[in-house]
Chains A and B, each alone.
Chain A
Amino acid sequence: MIRRRVNRGLLAACAIAFVAGARVLAAQHLLVPMDDEQRNHLKAYGLTYAALQRGEKGEWLLNYRGGAFLLGDTPASRRRAALDGIAVAPIDDGTLTAIRGEMAGGNMDAVPLEKAPRIAIYTPPTAQPWDDAVTLALDYAGIPYTRIWDPQVLQGKLAEFEWLHLFHEDFTGQFNKFHISYRGTPWFVNQVNRATADARQLGFANVPALKKAVAERIRAYVENGGFLFAMCGASETLELALAGSGVDIANSFADGSPVDPEADRRLDWSRAFATQGARLEPNGLVNAMSDIDGHQVNVPGRRRPLGTFTLFAFSAKLDPVPTMLVQDHRFVLPDYYGVTTSFTRSLLKPGTRILATVDGAPLAKYVHGTYGKGAYTFLGGHDPEDPQHEVGAPPTDLALYPTSPGYRLILNNVLFPSAQKKPRKT
């Protein structure tokens, strides 16, 4: 409610227009509204990113018109907005002053956007039989990124990036326990063979050992100031891999030995980012990793039905970081499954900020926190526009969902490292 659009009439004089459709006005700025006036929210992030990449400055107007962006009125931005169908409004200094006055009086604030972050996506070099929501979002928005995989992580290449994304990877090295359903399928056999060969080539006895080493590099990357965004199973299994650094947490099909019967007791949660005190699922034939995930989509007796989740409203002036991460034009969103769909709230560390809660359940959908000099964000679920996304399903065509509020959450994270953050005042 506190983020409701304020004084919508303010911009009546400078009606929203597709820039190519508007006459070139003597404007100094381009306002990119992110409320329901916007026709392509996802590409608006790409427009902003491209402006930063060209060395231009921008601002993120938190809680103003759905989290609008303010860019310089340059021919390049106008051209891109026109080509991509992004609604923008040219405004002059006078109008901007009025906007700032309006923002000063409400739960709104402007955060300078300084630099386009260098983005790494941790993804295997070969195609997987599922899509990656972040890759889809970045491709659609036209935001460049670099694919990296285990060898590059172990070579220390993470330091070259400001932002790292993890998606479906199982950092416990158990291949998401897909052996239960897919053990004979060619893609799964190839995946296991390839991962096992990679592990040996990189000097590890098995895949779980390799993935723990990778998890440790990721932990160090965040500790040293990197931004981590993890979705779906990567979030939960990264936590387990970090907490289980010195413990056998993988079933015998993955490393030849059963799970340490004392594993739960021996897990060191001080190493994990967001969670603590979780219990492993030791049964190799139960398709769940732990009790961190509250939905347990692949365990028939435990599967929780989908409902909705609600974004939390933060104070833009006092809490700009979480405010940035929840900028959206919808606050109640339909939920969607992933191998990890949600996070059990009672297992979150006290310092973990809950950005969205699953309605009617003691679960968080979206969490954030700082770790060392860096920060992490976990978003449960696989694909915001495909609630039941299954292995082998075709990738979502984002051209059909240009205003997707769920995908906006992902893209908020991409721009988040661009922001020159003010120190938190509370």
Chain B
Amino acid sequence: MRRARRVPTLVLCMALPLGAQRPGADSLVVRGFDLESAQPREALALYRRALAGETLVPALLGMERIFMEAGQGDSLLAPIEMAVRVLPRDGVVRAVQFRTLAALRREDELRIAFRSWARAAPGEPAPFKEYARTLLELGQADAADSVLDVATRAIRDPRDFTAELAQVAAARGRWADAARRWRTALVIEEALVPAAVAALAQAPVAPRDTMREALLATPAAVAPRRALAELELLWGTPRRGWSALADLVPTQETAQAWRSFAESAEERGAPLAARDAWLALHRRQRDPDALLRATVASLDGGDASAALPMAVEAQGLLDPKLALRDALPARLRALAALGRAAEASALVDSVRPSLPAMQLRILEGQLAWGFLRAGDVTRARPLVARMDDDEASALLAVYDGDLATAREKLAGADASNTLLIVPRTLLARSTVRRAPATGAALALLAKGDSVAAIAALEDAASEVSDAAPFVLALAARVRTARGDVPGAIAAWRHIVTTHVNAPEAAEGDLAWARLALASGDAATATARLEHLILTYRASALVPQARRTLDEARRRAGGTSS
């Protein structure tokens, strides 16, 4: 019903200016439109009076809206019959007729109406198209297919029906065929991209490769590629979406497609695909704004190392004021994310005199986070003191070992900051108020001094006895990451055997098993994984353990002989 109402409203919008040339009847339609929602009876009376001449069509559409809203579609049949007598070839009148008969499920009359229209407009594709569309709306894809089959033989140019045939193929689940037909239709009519995307989006995973082949077929055309790119975004494969567009010959049309894809990818939370599109646009058109958006998208996607050179380039290309306002923060953000806080600090110092106070505070905030990320407590402290940021204060307090203050600061803070995951867990697991050794160990970890951090964490575990397995697991993870296999196995074994009920015990089993497997000890790996699965049944690690267990069994001899 909603769909049926949308079309008449659009047509009314187009029809009113035309009618405005004839005072009288058209004013009836305008007044009727104004009264539709509040006084539908009065509106209906006005539409009845306007049901002639040039206002016949808008008046009929107005009546359709009122009767359909009231669930009185059958009351519309007489006005439709009259309108059809006057304008038997009019597409809008016939569309109202088809919609009404379909809504009333009068399928025999619908068929008769189609035949009557086809007779009245011989050689015209419109009756076939409208009837096929209506049948599709009724869920009769096979019948729609039959109608189009007749149409392609009856009408001189069968290409007229490509889009409808594509719709039917999609409705029947013939996805590869639908994709091929949509490609043909899109090459003819680019405006059909949204319709193609809507029709193909529901395709299951299995036929998608064939559909991709169809839409990527040579010669490359922009519209089918645009449709595929949008589909890939909907299917959760945004990088493939960009691949569909990336190799198009750069033209103005291509550039528009890239821009449109980049915006769409941003909206759909695919920043790295958006980044690639913005960057290509910049390379094609030397567009600093696009480059800046690429930089931000890259940072949003977690790729700071790619973002940094882009930010530097954007800073050089943009107007100096804009560079300072937009590109510099992006560059600082990239440096902070990469742990290059000292560089970021020098950068801020170099532009400090020309920065407004407000912007300087913002940049210093980013700088503070850079130092905190790098575990540089000394340089972070004065900057944090000037900030009104509970999260930064809390992290600094953790590094200082002041867990009580940190707990207080984090009470109402946003939980999305990834730098705070470890401190938050520590605070949740421990009731200790002061733990300077643990804080210092975490700062060493942030500095990247892994050897010192391991020793410090293992020493500090006793300081926070209620969170000891958590702190020990941090050390064990660092040992694992460093490739210290004997040390890591010993550390995990200690956790598994002495902290049996801790959440880290399951992780310990899995890590121990993986290390054993990597060392060729499939038997130990199997034993640890079986222990994990059978002991920590509710652990989120069980699926990973099962997968690793399959691998361990294969290594241990497999099933074949």
Contacts and interface: CB of A to CB of B under 8 A. Distances in A.
B346 interface: no
Contact of A305 (B176, B204, B542, B559): B176
Contacts of A79: 534
Interface in A73-92: 79, 82-85
B561 A146 contact: yes
A138 B559 contact: yes
A143 B533 contact: no
Contact of B537 (A21, A140, A399): A21
A143 B542 contact: no
B207 A20 contact: no
Contacts of A18: 537
A135 to B, nearest CB: 7
Contacts of B204: 334
A83 B560 contact: no
Given A144-B561, A334-B204, A399-B550, A305 B177 contact: yes
Nearest to A144: B559
Nearest to B547: A399
Contacts of A145: 559-561
Contacts of B546: 83-85, 399
A83 B209 contact: no
Contact of B206 (A135, A139, A387): A387
Interface in B203-258: 204, 206-207, 209-210
A99 interface: no
A306 B559 contact: no
Interface in A141-156: 142-147
B207 A306 contact: yes
A306 B561 contact: no
Interface in B514-556: 530, 533-534, 537-538, 542-543, 546-547, 549-550, 553-554
B284 interface: no
Interface residues of B, number: 26
Nearest to B177: A305
Interface residues of A, number: 28
A79 B561 CA distance: 24
B177 A139 contact: no
Interface string A255-285: 0000000000000000000000000000000
Contacts of A350: none
A396 interface: no
A147 B560 contact: yes
Contacts of B561: 144-147
Contacts of B17: none
A252 interface: no
A83 B554 contact: no
Contacts of B549: 83
Contacts of A142: 553, 559
A7 interface: no
B558 interface: yes
Interface string A122-142: 000000000000010011101
A388 interface: yes
B286 interface: no
Interface string A17-33: 01011000000000000
B559 A139 contact: yes
B174 interface: yes
A144 B173 contact: no
A121 B174 CA distance: 36
Contact of B533 (A82, A147, A387): A82
A170 to B, nearest CB: 22
Given A83-B530, A306-B207, A121 B560 contact: yes
Given A21-B537, A79-B534, A139 B554 contact: yes
B207 A82 contact: no
A388 B209 contact: yes
B176 A306 contact: yes
A83 B552 CA distance: 13
B131 to A, nearest CB: 23
A224 interface: no
Interface string A190-220: 0000000000000000000000000000000
Contact of B558 (A139, A305, A387, A388): A139
A307 B546 CA distance: 34
A384 to B, nearest CB: 10
A308 interface: yes
B176 A20 contact: no
A83 B210 contact: no
A14 to B, nearest CB: 18
Contacts of A144: 559-561
Contacts of B534: 20, 79, 82-83
Given A142-B559, A144-B559, A387 B550 contact: no
A4 to B, nearest CB: 22
A143 B559 CA distance: 6
Contacts of B210: 305-306, 387-388
Contacts of A388: 209-210
A307 B560 contact: no
- List of 9 A-B pairs having minimum Cβ-Cβ separation, nearest first: A334-B206, A144-B559, A305-B176, A21-B537, A146-B561, A399-B547, A20-B537, A387-B206, A83-B533
Interface of A: 18, 20-21, 79, 82-85, 121, 135, 138-140, 142-147, 305-308, 334, 336, 387-388, 399
12 contacts: A21-B538, A82-B533, A82-B534, A84-B546, A121-B560, A144-B559, A144-B560, A146-B561, A307-B174, A387-B206, A387-B207, A387-B209
Given A146-B560, A388-B209, 10 more contacts: A20-B534, A82-B537, A83-B533, A83-B546, A138-B559, A139-B558, A142-B553, A144-B559, A145-B561, A147-B561
